[in-house]
Amino acid sequence: MRYLTYNELITLPSFEERFNYLRLNGRCSEETFGGHRLLNQMLYRSPQWKDIRQRVIIRDNGCDLGIEDRPIQKYLMIHHINPITIEQVVNFDPAIFDLNNLICCSRETHNAIHYGDGTNLTPTNITERIPGDTRLW
């Protein structure tokens, strides 16, 4: 299977299209480093990860899947667009720090990518605001 890079993924115009590409469709039980707490801590506490994380946030302007009108209010996460392996983490493979394989997402989106189907991610019944509108949502 050929994986998309970040530069290719962002050509998909909508949040739904990007999410549908990224979602794992129940494959979350496959062996990944995600289930290995010590490996997680080793990676996510490293200076290299902290640096690349900041660079991704700046590049994506802190928006969910890089979509401008979806700013992440809290629990911003960085997601590997294409899966990484335990061996890559153990060896601190430079590929795990590749900007072209990382994207911002909210915790809700990240959990849906790994464990869900994306329902409840798209806002519905959005009240359009107009200048001078003082009513609460």
Structure tokens belonging to residue 100: 């072209």
Could you tell me if residue 68 is inside a domain? Answer: yes
User: Residue 81 corresponds to which amino acid?
Assistant: I
Q: Are 104 and 76 in contact (CB under 8 A)?
A: yes
Q: Looking at the domain assignment, is residue 69 inside a domain?
A: yes
> What pTM was estimated for this model as a whole?
0.79
Average pLDDT, the chain: 84
78 strand-pairing partners? 104
- Alpha-carbon distance of 65 to 16, in angstroms, equals 10
**Helix (H) / strand (E) containing 46:** none
> Is 106 contained in some domain?
yes
Range of the domain at 80: 6-115
pLDDT value, residue 34:
55
- Position 1 scores a pLDDT of 61
25-83 pLDDT, tens digit per residue, is 755 544 555 556 788 888 999 999 999 999 999 999 999 999 999 999 989 999 999 88
